[in-house]
Amino acid sequence: MSNTILSIDQGTTSSRAFLIDHDLNVKGQGQHEFRQIYPKSGWVEHDPEEIWMSTLAAIRDCLAKAKTDPKNIVGIGITNQRETTVLWDKKTGKPIYNAIVWQDRRTTERCEQLKKDGLEKEIRKKTGLVLDPYFSATKIGWLLEHHKGDLAFGTVDSFLLWRLTGGVVHATDATNASRTLLMDLQKCEWDDELCDLFHIPKNILPKICSCSEIYGTTKNVAGLPDGIPIAGMAGDQQAALIGQACFEEGEAKCTYGTGSFILMHIGEAPQLSKHGLITTLAYKIGNQIAYAFEGSAFIAGAAVQWLRDGLKIIKQASDVEALASQVPDSGGVVFVPALTGLGAPHWNPNARGTITGITRGTTAAHIARAALEGIAFSQYDILEAMIHDVGKSLTVLKVDGGACKNNLLMQFQSDILQVPISRPRMVETTVLGAAFLAGLATGVWKDLNDIKKSWREEKHFTPRMKNEEVKVRVEKWEKILGRSF
Ligand code: ADP
């Protein structure tokens, strides 16, 4: 029997498709970019038809490369850019406006007003989120002010599911629903009061399903036979957590991309953070519900881009490791990479980067090393906040994203956290998470244990720095971080 899953990763700048089997062999992949639309300052849109067409093109390329008969696909998984909001006409299936992207800030005033009305605390308690234009509810509100009709709302997972099933299924998964400000995090159901508060009629909302079940089957999709089950869905960061097989409380993953995203599994209760983190659904699989703390830094790998493009001390990002390795330490230089303000847990948009401790002996190598250390300290701050909230230490940090290839950075991260770090062989963890979810519902993987066995480590980093030194380094970082505000 075939055990091939088609995993679709619908991201912010491109749509990708992968064919993956039980042993995590990637048999084919395809990728297509689409337009970013900026109608006004602070507004970011995508054309949902382009999202759809680029997804189909990615699937077509993936199948062509794999030379696989699509009849061998046993299930389809979807992971997606989260919060991005699409409204379409239920009868024609046509979007009524562009998708409003997660980065879009057009509803800032609406959020400010709701805050002034004193509603933030209650909203936070129910949803685990903060009142911010980032999340979907005020985006839906904006669209409804401008358009009437028999409408359906969906985040991108939901829109793709609708299209893949030929307009038969209108559903989403609980992780995506947990990013709308409309879902009661405890019950995993749409909340009547929240819907009223944001003026959203409940009949436009998709059904909230688990992350792993057969939602429907393909119908009239170009390039795919009818009848393939769509069987797994999760937002991109949750998919990465699943793709990293973080199924136990206290496990966490950090994605080192342009910015960073950390999710920590916090168990079966949706605890609220006292340290500037949001609470989100990690996954719902069968009757099993798990929650996570989420924190992100605006700058991670982007600090290395700045060394390349701003300072021009390296030619390509991967050169940073060799440069930083020329010196045994940063020679007292501290680099706070707050280049575009500070995200979690500090939340200070006005903070700016600082480089301190420069002497006549400072070289490009010291600056490069301090930049890598600054990236690691930023993750340390987020993880420390999480650890304080849960009152337990971290067992392991699993890593992915472009900058996780950097061994020096990973070793320093392990040192400063005093926690082991584990880097997987398959670093496309979002894609893998969606594949696991779809494979779980279609019998490719038996259960979460079976998934854990498929997940393979490529490299393990154990802390080497002495406790006293960690203490000194952290104190210094905190002192200098305070000067960035
Ligand atoms: P995104 O998905 O946000 O585009 P990626 O996961 O593709 O990001 O990672 C790209 C980022 O990783 C870039 O910011 C780049 O500077 C950084 N990067 C890539 N390779 C390395 C490396 N070897 N060491 C440190 N940073 C790196």
CA nearest ligand 1 atom 26, residue: 403
Q: Does 470 score more than 80 pLDDT? A: yes
> Looking at residue 104, what is its pLDDT?
87
> Looking at residue 341, what is its pLDDT?
83
Is the shortest distance between the CB of 263 and ligand 1 below 6 Å?
Answer: no
Q: How many angstroms is it from 124 CA to the middle of ligand 1?
A: 32
Is-contact 22 439, C-beta < 8 A? yes
**pLDDT tens digits along 228-254:** 999 999 999 999 999 999 999 999 999
Q: How many angstroms is it from 91 CA to the middle of ligand 1?
A: 43
Q: How many angstroms is it from 303 CA to the middle of ligand 1?
A: 9
**pLDDT tens digits along 423-448:** 999 999 999 999 999 999 999 999 99
Q: Does 415 score more than 60 pLDDT? A: yes
Q: Does 67 score more than 90 pLDDT? A: no
**pLDDT tens digits along 173-223:** 999 999 999 999 999 999 999 999 999 999 999 999 999 999 999 999 999
> Looking at residue 1, what is its pLDDT?
57
Q: Which of 31, 406, 408 to mutate to test the pocket of ligand 1 (most atoms within 8 A of CB)?
A: 406
**pLDDT tens digits along 12-66:** 989 999 999 999 999 999 999 999 999 998 899 999 999 999 999 999 999 999 9
**pLDDT tens digits along 146-172:** 888 899 999 999 999 999 999 999 999
**pLDDT tens digits along 327-357:** 999 999 999 999 888 888 888 878 889 999 9
Q: How many angstroms is it from 302 CA to the middle of ligand 1?
A: 7
Q: What is the CATH number of domain 244-485?
A: 3.30.420.40
CA nearest ligand 1 atom 25, residue: 403
Question: Does CATH place domain 4-227 in 3.40.1350.10?
Answer: no
Average pLDDT over the chain, rounded to an integer: 94
Q: Does 2 score more than 90 pLDDT? A: no
In ligand 1, the atom with minimum distance to the C-alpha of 301 is: 14
> Looking at residue 301, what is its pLDDT?
93
Is the shortest distance between the CB of 14 and ligand 1 below 6 Å?
Answer: no
pLDDT band at 298 (very low <50, low <70, confident <90, very high): confident
> Do 4-227 and 244-485 come out as alike in CATH topology?
yes
Domain residue limits, the chain: 4-227, 244-485
